[in-house]
């Protein structure tokens, strides 16, 4: 059995204390396997984004642990945490978050160069990543020369560049129209089918349905998980 690429154990997060105490997350156990797309759903305030921030070392849990690619975030130094954020996990946000003064390729190669990779090597990887998100030939365009869907493709390419194998996506289709959203989900799905792993927060059931597993949070707890059927349906099954 393969090891999970991301593992959350008895994860808890509490804000405030006494009467003001809010349990944002309570004893959440969740594993993400390579090749898996997992969606996190739930109402506003159910803990979706808190969970994603813990997974990506953007926030510290009050209890429990997060293990990314075999490394326990709780025992890491600040420098190591920064390295995890640069090279192990990638983020995709609703607002794309590309740097406007850099081209598509530069946006993608930046984290690799910051990690010490030579520009030529980083550029080659960026071009390959752009090809994988069907953006070959747009490497030298600036974000304002790209549509919303194209910018999100660049963000996904950046999220999965080089050694990065875990993509954390917070409402990645939030600002896009329906057809573009669907193409972004198709892309996430195919990147996962090719071996990446993604944890995606969404409030749209139709988008969550692209996932292998849909985790539903309620008041910081996992209320239910639904898994797609292992053997794919055929036309005969729904007649």
Partner 1 sequence: MGLKEGLLCLLVKGDAHGYQLKADLESTTGDTWQVNIGQVYTTLQRLERDGLVESIESNGDGRVVYTLTDLGRGAVARWLDAPVDLAAAGRDEISLKVLMSMVSGAIDPRRVVERQRGATMTILQDYTTLKANDSNDDFAWQLYLDRLILSAEAELRWLERVEARLDLMPPFQVTQLTESMDTDPVEVDR
Q: At closest approach, how far in Å is the CB of 213 from partner 1? A: 9
| Binding window for partner 1 (CB under 8 A); candidates: 51-59, 92-100, 105-113, 203-211 | 203-211
Q: Which CB atom, from 10 or from 118, has the smaller least distance to partner 1?
A: 10
# binding residues, partner 1 (CB under 8 A): 26
**Alpha helix segments (H runs only) across 32-147:** 48-55, 78-83, 104-114, 119-132
| Residue 96 sits in the site that holds partner 1 (CB under 8 A) | no
Q: How far is the CB of 105 from partner 1 (least distance, A)?
A: 29
Q: What is the DSSP letter of 230?
A: S
Radius of gyration, CA atoms only, the chain? 18
* Of 54-62, 93-101, 104-112, 206-214: span binding partner 1 (CB under 8 A): 206-214
209 binds partner 1 (CB under 8 A): yes
Which residue from 9, 85, 141, 221 is in contact with partner 1, where contact means CB under 8 A? 221
Q: Mapping DSSP to helix (H, G, I), strand (E, B) and coil, where does residue 19 land?
A: helix
Number of C-beta neighbours around residue 105 at 10 A = 24
Residue for token digits 């393969």?
A: 2
- 169 to 188: interface string for partner 1, x by CB under 8 A: -----------------x--
Q: Interface with partner 1 by CB under 8 A: which range of 100-108, 119-127, 139-147, 216-224?
A: 216-224
Rounded Cα distance, 107 and 178, in Å: 26
Q: Given the complex with partner 1, which of 114 and 206 has the nearer CB atom?
A: 206
Instruction: Tell me which residue of 55, 53, 3, 58 sits closest to 29, measured CA to CA.
Output: 55
- Minimal distance, residue 100 CB to partner 1, in Å: 33
Give the nearest distance from C-beta 233 to partner 1 in angstroms. Answer: 5
206 part of the interface to partner 1, by CB under 8 A: yes
Map tokens 């304002």 to a residue. Answer: 144
Residue 73 CA to residue 52 CA, distance in Å, equals 14
Query: CB of 210 within 8 A of CB of 40?
Result: no
Q: Which of 168, 169, 214, 217: binder of partner 1 (CB under 8 A)?
A: 214
Within 10 angstroms of residue 98's Cβ, the number of other Cβ atoms is 21
CA 88 to chain centroid, in Å, comes to: 11
Contact positions toward partner 1, by CB under 8 A? Answer: 186, 189, 205-206, 208-212, 214, 216, 219, 221, 223-229, 232-235, 238-239
């Amino acid at each position: 059995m393969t090891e999970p690429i991301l593992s959350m154990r008895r994860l808890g997060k509490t804000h405030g204390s006494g009467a003001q105490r809010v349990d944002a997350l309570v004893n959440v156990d969740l594993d993400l396997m390579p090749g898996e797309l997992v969606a996190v759903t739930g109402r506003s305030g159910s803990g979706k984004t808190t969970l994603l921030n813990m997974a990506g070392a953007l926030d510290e849990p009050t209890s429990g642990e997060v293990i990314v690619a075999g490394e326990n975030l709780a025992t890491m130094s600040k420098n190591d945490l920064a390295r995890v954020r640069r090279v192990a996990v990638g983020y995709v946000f609703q607002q794309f978050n590309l740097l406007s003064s850099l081209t598509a390729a530069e946006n993608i190669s930046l984290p690799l160069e910051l990690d010490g990779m030579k520009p030529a090597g980083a550029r080659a990887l960026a071009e390959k990543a752009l090809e994988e998100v069907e953006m070959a030939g747009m490497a030298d365009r600036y974000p304002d020369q790209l549509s919303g869907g194209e910018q999100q493709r660049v963000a996904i390419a950046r999220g999965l560049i080089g050694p990065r194998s875990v993509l954390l996506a917070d409402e990645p289709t939030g600002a896009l129209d329906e057809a573009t959203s669907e193409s972004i989900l198709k892309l996430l799905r195919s990147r996962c089918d090719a071996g990446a792993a993604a944890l995606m927060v969404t409030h749209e059931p139709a988008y969550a349905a692209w996932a292998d597993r849909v985790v539903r949070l309620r008041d910081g707890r996992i209320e239910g998980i639904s898994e797609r059927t292992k053997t794919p349906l055929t036309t005969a099954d729904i007649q």
